[in-house]
Amino acid sequence: MNLHGWIDAYMSHLHVERALAKNTLDAYGHDLARLATSVGDLDPARIDLEQIAKLLADNLATGFGARSSARQLSTLRGFFRFLVRERAVPDDPTALIDRPRLGRRLPRVLSFEEVERLLATPDATKDRGVRDAAMLHLMYASGLRVSELVSLRVDDLDLARGVVTPLGKGGKRRLVPVGEVALTTLTRYLNDVRPRALKKPTSALFVSPWGKRFSRQGFWAILKRYAAAAGIRSAISPHKLRHSFATHLLRGGADLRAVQAMLGHADLGTTEIYTHVAREQVRASHTKAHPRA
C-alpha cells in the first residue's frame, strides 16, 4: 500500500479509535496532504529524514510560523509511529528532527469591566435580546467553546442543580457549574422566549427566530455586534470569552485543577497558561496603581 492508502488508514484510525474532533481531523488531514504533495504517492518506507526536513523547510519558506511547523511535525510523528506499529516502515524518520522552539503566547482576555458592559448590552425587552443575553451569560459563566454552546440540548442544562454538561472534544462530556445570574437569564429564555421561536420540536437549546439550531458563525456575528455596541475596541472572539472565564476564575483564587476540569483540558499544562495571564494582570494593576511601583 502506498502513501495515500496509509494516510487514509491513519485518518480512519484517528476517527474511529481515537474519536478526534472534526476540526482536529481536518488539521491532521491537511498536514498529511502536504506530505503527499511534497514526496508523491510512494511507499512510505522510502521516505527518509532528508525528505521530511525539506518539507518543513519549504513550509517555513512559504510563511509557516513556528507553531504551525511544530503542529505539522507532531502530525508526522504520530503518522510514522502508526506506520512503525503497523510494520509498514522499519523506523520513524522524524525521530531525529528537533521540535521548533516556541515562545509562550499569552491569550488576550477581556477585563471585568468589559465583560460587564458586554453582558449588559442585549435588549432584555425583546425576545432576541433575551436569547442573546442567555447565550453570552452561559458562555462566560461556564467557559464553553462556541461549538459546545451551539450544540447544547435542552437536556444538557439542569437548572435545578445549576450545571451544564457540554459535549467536548473527543465526544467527552463534563459537568460545569452555571452561576446564579446566568441561570436567571437562561430560565427566562427557556420559559418565555424559546417556546415562541419553535416552529417544530427540536432538542436544541438555542434556536434562531426561524426555529433552527444556532450556528457558530451566527453566534460569532452576534458577539461582534454586541462588543462594538459595548465599546470594546480590541479584537473579539468566542474563544476570548473562554480565556476571560479561566483567567478571571484564577484571579479570584480558583483551584487550577478545578479550572482544568471546567474547561475540559486533558493536560493541566494547557490550563497553566492562564496563571501567567492572571499574574501579568496583577502586575499591571500594581504598576498602574501603586505609588512606589
Question: Which CATH superfamily is 112-289 part of?
Answer: Intergrase catalytic core (1.10.443.10)
3-state secondary structure of 90: coil
Residue 236's CB: how many other CB atoms inside 10 A?
21
Query: Which residues does 89 contact at the CB level (< 8 Å), separation at least 6?
Result: 44, 45, 47, 80, 83
**Structural domain boundaries of the chain?**
3-85, 112-289
Candidates 131, 145, 243, 251; catalytic one? 145
- Residues of the chain under the 70 pLDDT cut: 63-66, 100-107, 269-270, 272, 274-293
Candidates 13, 81, 169, 188; catalytic one? 169
Residue 115: predicted pLDDT: 92
Candidates 10, 140, 189, 274; catalytic one? 274
DSSP string, 26-87: HHHHHHHHHHHHHH-S--GGG--HHHHHHHHHHHHHTT--HHHHHHHHHHHHHHHHHHHHTT
Does 145 participate in catalysis according to the annotation? yes
Does 283 participate in catalysis according to the annotation? no
Does 286 participate in catalysis according to the annotation? no
Query: Nine-digit cell at 262?
Result: 471546567
Residue 228: predicted pLDDT: 95
pTM more than 0.75: no
Candidates 34, 242, 243, 251; catalytic one? 242
- Contact, 227 vs 213, CB < 8 A? no
Does 257 participate in catalysis according to the annotation? no
Q: In what order do the strands lie in the sheet with 176-177?
A: 157-158, 163-164, 176-177
- Contact, 206 vs 213, CB < 8 A? yes
3-85 shares its CATH topology with 112-289: no
Q: How far is CA 10 from CA 13, 83, 132, 238, in A?
A: 5, 8, 41, 32
What is the rounded distance in angstroms from the CA atom of residue 80 to the CA atom of residue 156? Answer: 39
What is the rounded distance in angstroms from the CA atom of residue 255 to the CA atom of residue 95? Answer: 37
Query: Which residues does 133 contact at the CB level (< 8 Å), separation at least 6?
Result: 119, 122, 124, 185, 189
Residue 292: predicted pLDDT: 45
Residue with cell 462588543: 227
Question: Which CATH superfamily is 3-85 part of?
Answer: Tyrosine recombinase, N-terminal domain (1.10.150.130)
C-alpha neighbours within 13 Å on the C-beta side of residue 54: 10
Residue 66: predicted pLDDT: 67
- Contact, 197 vs 185, CB < 8 A? no
Residue with cell 474511529: 16
Candidates 126, 239, 279, 283; catalytic one? 239
What is the rounded distance in angstroms from the CA atom of residue 293 to the CA atom of residue 276? Answer: 20
Sign of the dihedral through C-alpha 27, 29, 35, 37: negative
